[in-house]
Amino acid sequence: MDFASVELSPEDAEFRDELRAFLADIVTDEVRRRDRETGENFDEGVHLALGAKGYLASDWHDESDGGFSALRRRIWDLEIGRAHTPWFHWGTTAVVAKMMRDFGPSELTDEVLPGVLSGETRLCLGYTEPEGGSDVATCKTRAVRDGDGWIINGSKMFTSNAHNARYVFLLTNTDPDAPKHKNLTMFLVPLDTPGVDIQPIRTIDGDRTNIVFYSDVRVDDRYRIGAVNGGWGVLRGALDEEHGTAEKEDDGLQRVAVMSEHLTLMAEAIDAIAELVTRPGADGRRLVDDTSVAYRLGRSVARTEAALSTPGMFGRVANAQTMRDVAPDLMDLLGSASALPIDTTGAADDGGAEYIFRLASPVGIYGGTLEVFRNMIAQHALRLGRPAYSPPKS
C-alpha cells in the first residue's frame, strides 16, 4: 500500500472545493434530520441535484469513458461521506446498471440508463429471502415461462429502497429440479407491476428496509438479464462488487474497504467524546485524568485508525467488528446518559456513540455477514479450504 500523501493539482483542488460547496448547499440540516427520522438513507432532492449536475454520470462511467479520474473519484467518495449525504442506494443502482450494461439486452439498458444517470430511476436488489440470505443460491422465488413472458411468485426480505426505486434486480429460480447454481435467472422487474406488494421494515438502527411479496407478477422476457438458468454468472459480478472483492487498481486511491464511511461517523463520535472528557467538570476534574479513561479512549482511536487502513475483505470485517467493540467502550466512558439518542435533552454526546452502537449490528450483516466474510478470508486469502458443514462422521 502506498501511504504517500497526494498533492492536488489546482484543477483537482478546484473540483474538491466546488463539490464541497455544492454538497453543503444541498445536504442541509433539514435533509439530515429527515433522513434520521425516516431511516431511508435516501433523499430524492439530493439525488436529483447530483444527477442534474452530472456527478452521477461521472461516478458511473469509467475514466476512459468520460468518468472521474481515480483521484477525483477518491475526492468524491470522501466528500460525500463527510457531508453525511443520505445516499447509500446510489451504490446498488450503479451496480445493477453495470450488470445490465454487461449482461442485459441493449434496448433495455438504453431505456433505463439515462434515468439512472439523471437520478430519476433508482434500482434495488432483490436477492435475500425470508428463509435465508447468506446462501442466496437457495432462492425459492419462482419464475415460470408464460408465452413471451414469465410469471413470478415468491417473497424477498430486506429489499432496501424498493419504495424509492423503479425496478428491482430480482433473483429467481427457473428450474427447481436443476442442480444448485444452474437454476437461477435474473430479471429487472418494474416495481409498479400488478402483484408487487412492498411492506416496510425498520431495523435496530432506525433504517427503513422492506419485505416485498410477488404474487403472479407478469414480466415480459425483455426484462431478463442474462441467460435463462445463467443467473449465477450475472449475480457473481454484482456480489463481488458489493463485497468489495472485485479487482482494484493498485494506485492507492481506491476506497480502502466497503462500508468505511460508517467508520468516519465513529471517528467523529470519538472526536466529540475526546473533547468532552478533556473538559473540566464542576469540581475542576477532567474525566481523561483517570488513566483508565485515557487508555480506553486511546485504544478506541488506535483501533479505528487501524480499521480505516485495512483494505478489502479484511477491512470489511475490521470496520464492523471495530464498531461493535468500540461503541460500547465509548458509551461506558460517558456513563448512562450516553444511552440517550441524538436530539434528546441530557444526551451525553448528543447520541453519537449510542447511534454507532445500534448501527454496528446491521453493518456486520448486510452485504454479507461477518461470519461469511471470515470464511471467505479463511478460504481465499489463507487457503484453508472450503468449510465443512456436514456433521462429523461417527
Ligand X SMILES: Cc1cc2nc3c(=O)[nH]c(=O)nc-3n(C[C@H](O)[C@H](O)[C@H](O)COP(=O)(O)OP(=O)(O)OC[C@H]3O[C@@H](n4cnc5c(N)ncnc54)[C@H](O)[C@@H]3O)c2cc1C
Rule CB under 6 A: which residues touch ligand X?
A: 124-128, 132-134, 158-160, 203, 207, 209, 362, 365-369, 371-372, 375
Residue showing cell 425470508: 130
- Cβ nearer to ligand X, comparing 347 with 359: 359
Query: Whole-number minimum distance, CB 106 to ligand X, in Å?
Result: 26
Query: Whole-number minimum distance, CB 22 to ligand X, in Å?
Result: 28
- Cβ nearer to ligand X, comparing 93 with 209: 209
198-235 b/e (C-beta count within 10 Å ≥ 16 → b): beeeebeebbbbbbbebeebebeeebbbbeeebbbebb
Query: Whole-number minimum distance, CB 104 to ligand X, in Å?
Result: 19
340-358 b/e (C-beta count within 10 Å ≥ 16 → b): beeeeeebbbbbbbbbbbb
Query: Whole-number minimum distance, CB 158 to ligand X, in Å?
Result: 3
- The Cα 236–Cα 351 span in angstroms is 38
Distances (CA, A) of 18 to 23, 53, 257: 9, 11, 26
Query: Whole-number minimum distance, CB 369 to ligand X, in Å?
Result: 3
Determine the 3-state secondary structure of 40 from DSSP.
coil
- Cβ nearer to ligand X, comparing 305 with 325: 325
Query: Whole-number minimum distance, CB 317 to ligand X, in Å?
Result: 12
Query: Whole-number minimum distance, CB 20 to ligand X, in Å?
Result: 29
- Cβ nearer to ligand X, comparing 256 with 360: 360
Q: Where are the beta strands (DSSP E) in the chain?
A: 123-126, 142-146, 149-156, 167-173, 184-190, 196-202, 208-220, 224-225
Answer yes or no: are the C-beta atoms of 171 and 133 closer than 8 Å: no
Residues 6+ away with beta carbon under 8 Å from 70: 63, 249, 251, 253, 254
Residue nearest to ligand X (CB): 133
- Cβ nearer to ligand X, comparing 58 with 185: 185
- Cβ nearer to ligand X, comparing 263 with 270: 263
- Cβ nearer to ligand X, comparing 80 with 171: 171
Answer yes or no: are the C-beta atoms of 198 and 150 closer than 8 Å: no
